[in-house]
Amino acid sequence: MSDIQERRKGLASALQSFVDLCDEAQAVIGATPLQSCGERDFSVLLDTMLPLPIDKGSVHGTNVRQLEALVALCTKCRLCETRKQVVFGEGSIPARLMVIGEGPGFEEDASGKPFVGKAGKYLDSWLGAIHMDRSNAVYIANIVKCRPPENRDPEVDEVQACLPYLKRQIQLVKPQIILLVGSVAARSLLGVSDGVGKLRGRFLRYEDVPVVVTYHPAAVLRNMELKRPVWDDLKKIAAYLDIQLSGRS
């Protein structure tokens, strides 16, 4: 084990001891039974306080800030030649829900933020329908971080160049569940050839994380008949996260 790993292990142990002491103090002050929360995950805090050294050519061991810096300088595919801004992704870390689309559009390329155009506002309404929003417990990203020209689908080599960044994001975000919107996102992350129609309506998995596939907000805006199946998919996410919904149908 390297020196930095030893120091991280020691810091994690010290933080756990401090949290345990706080639990004990709270029990004494409140004259209540001790309710320990058990062992905590301090990985995000450790990445900020004692980040691991990184290889600039690899995402291995990067924290969120380091990964974002690598993506900002990326020239691994042709999309870097026409982008205005890299759209890394944003939201809560860790997150209960991670939403992944295919790639930035015109508004996203201009702002550097994911899902901010018309489809993004529609996505916000989806999240609101299950009592969630992008500012709390949700992280939003895309398969590729740069806008494909004319909003075309990303090419296979462009997807392959960007996937390591997304996979590392997922590791760092630690979502309880992933929502893939659109066939490009589903095929790229899951490595399947089926479209949304065959993939939706059931729980899939990416590594150990449950995945729900649904239609892209832009596709629903073009065809409102897709609204019902999307709502069914959102209800699956709400049920998994134990979010109580009203009688809306």
Nearest to 142 by CA among 132, 1, 107: 107
pLDDT tens-place string over residues 146-191:
999 999 999 999 999 999 999 999 999 999 999 999 999 999 999 9
Neighbours of 18 (CB within 10 A): 10
Structure tokens belonging to residue 180: 């893939």
**CA–CA distance, 39 with 41 (Å, rounded to integer):** 7
Cα 192–chain centre separation: 20
For 28-51, b/e burial (b = at least 16 CB within 10 A) is eeeeeeeeeeeeeebeeebbeebe
CA within 13 Å, CB half, 126? 31
- What's the CA gap between 241 and 95, in Å, rounded? 11
pLDDT at 214 over 70: yes
Residue 142, beta-bridge partner list: 101
The model's pLDDT over 18-73, given as tens digits with 9 standing for 90+, comes to 888 888 888 888 778 877 667 778 777 777 777 666 555 678 888 899 999 999 99
Q: How far apart are CA 131 and CA 205, in angstroms?
A: 24
N residues, the chain: 249
Helix (H) or strand (E) holding 40: none
Render 43-55 in DSSP notation, one character per residue: HHHHHHHSPPP--
**Which tens digits make up the pLDDT trace of 107-127?**
999 999 999 999 999 999 999
Q: What is the pLDDT of residue 249?
A: 47
Q: What percent of the chain has pLDDT over 70?
A: 94
Alpha helix (H) residue ranges in 174-224: 183-190, 196-199, 217-222
Right CATH number for 54-240 from 3.30.465.10, 3.90.950.20, 3.40.470.10, 3.40.50.300?
3.40.470.10
Give the start-to-end residue ranges of the domains of the chain.
1-50, 54-240
pLDDT digits (tens, 9 = 90+) for 58-86: 788 888 999 999 999 999 999 999 999 99
Answer whether 154's CB lies under 8 Å from 163's CB. Answer: no
Greatest Cα pair distance, the chain, in angstroms, is 64
